Amino acid sequence: MKKHNFSAGPCILPQEVLKQASDAILNFNDDNLSLIEISHRSKPFVEVMEKAQNLVKELLELPEGYSVLFLQGGASTQFLMTAYNLMKTDGKAAYLDTGTWSSKALKEAKLFGDVDIIASSKDKGYNYIPKNYTVPSDADYLHLTSNNTIYGTQLKEFPKTEGLLVCDMSSDIFSRKMDFSQFDLIYAGAQKNMGPAGATLVIVKDEILGKTGRQIPSMLDYKIHIDKDSMFNTPPVFAVYVSMLTLQWLKDNGGIEAIEKINEQKAALLYAEIDSNPAFVGFAAKEDRSSMNVTFNLTDQSNQEKFDKLWNEAGINGLKGHRSVGGYRASMYNALPLESVQVLVDVMKQI
């Protein structure tokens, strides 16, 4: 039976990418060596790293002056690296609190200085994105989370700031067109929409670094990682390679503009069923709904056993909601085909 993978992370990946990656595990570049046993400083892998970095710049249409890094430690390490590298010793940072990950990020930032939580949606269980907030002019940077996987909300617009603009794009990077040059720093764990767990993408404007007045440990210093081309320590070779393959797949299929149209179709199809079927109710405020993570609940919990049986029998995987929210969550990352969403909708129509 074909599986329809709605898992929130690790994410679904294109079948052709998985095939190429599995072949490379046994024989990379026809050298009769495995990808995961060659030197990360060998010419074949240096070419992989460079191609991955260049694909990021090309797909996001980044201007000159940005560096692309593939690091380890997940987005969670970026919670503290961001503050370490951007918050001045006597400065402060502004944070928009829209969910679990933003609240964890601001917790880490508090270790380095003052943190101004300019708005929060915690009062309603993070089911909306705050509006009409003011960004303090004296903040070193504003930190946003573009998409909230647990709650199914997504920022549709990004504010202008006098300071730097930082964004955690772990779960919607490469999913929609926007002006990425408005951001000074972007980070994203690969496992949500780009590759397997183990690599973290960081995109940073070079000119913003080295201005905090603090000494930064080498492993947490963006400048050192830039100078060493993401190879200050042994990089996550397999995760970088699969991310490179996925980015090439995206380019070959029309890039971000093309995938955004498909993502919009998938989201429209599923939200239409949620809104028209009295057996279901959406969790997130309609104007803030995510196109990547659709969160919903049953209106009558007595239908849970029947619904769970139906979607499992249909070959659907990863539909359970996050343990902190409950209900259901359909994660529809770039590689999820429209066909899979139709299968889920057909199941929902039986309730």
Q: Which residues are known to be catalytic?
A: 101, 168, 192
CA–CA distance from 34 to each of 22, 44, 238, 310 (Å)?
10, 12, 10, 41
pLDDT of residue 324: 85
Per-residue pLDDT of the chain (351 residues; tens, 9 = 90+): 679 999 998 999 999 999 999 999 999 998 999 999 998 989 999 999 999 999 999 999 999 999 999 999 999 999 999 999 999 999 999 999 999 999 999 999 999 999 999 999 999 999 999 999 999 999 999 999 999 999 999 999 999 999 999 999 999 999 999 999 999 999 999 999 999 999 999 999 999 999 999 999 999 999 999 999 999 999 999 999 999 999 999 999 999 999 999 999 999 999 999 999 999 999 999 999 999 999 999 999 999 999 999 999 999 999 999 988 899 999 999 999 999 999 999 999 999
Condensed to tens digits (0 to 9), the pLDDT of residues 235-285 reads 999 999 999 999 999 999 999 999 999 999 999 999 999 999 999 999 999
pLDDT of residue 41: 87
pLDDT (0 to 100) of residue 121: 98
Count of alpha carbons within 13 angstroms of residue 112, beta-carbon side: 26
Distance of CA 1 to the CA centre of its chain: 29
What span, in angstroms and rounded, lies between the C-alpha atoms of 290 and 313? 27
CB-based burial label for 201 (10 Å; 0-12, 13-18, 19+): buried
Q: Are 284 and 127 in contact (CB under 8 A)?
A: yes
Residue-wise pLDDT for 68-95, tens only, equals 999 999 999 999 999 999 999 999 999 9
Q: Using alpha carbons only, give the angle 13, 255, 21 rounded to the nearest 5 degrees.
A: 30
In angstroms, how far is the first alpha carbon of the chain from the final one?
A: 22
Structure-token pair, residue 347: 């199941």
Q: Does domain 255-348 sit in CATH 3.40.190.10?
A: no
- How far is 293 from 237, CA to CA, in rounded Å? 28
Distance CA 167, CA 159 (A): 11
Q: What's the pLDDT score for residue 62?
A: 98
**CA 120/CA 101 separation, integer angstroms:** 13
What is the C-alpha to C-alpha distance for residues 143 and 165, in angstroms, rounded to an integer? 6
Q: Under CATH, which number does the domain 15-252 receive?
A: 3.40.640.10
Nearest to 209 by CA among 184, 180, 182: 184
Same fold yes or no, 15-252 and 255-348: no
What is the reported pLDDT for 2? 79
Break the chain into its structural domains and give their ranges.
15-252, 255-348
> Smallest Cα–Cα separation from 321: which of 350, 297, 305, 341?
297
Whole-prediction pTM: 0.97
Residue 74 has φ and ψ, to the nearest 5°, of 70, 175
d(CA 328, CA 331): 10
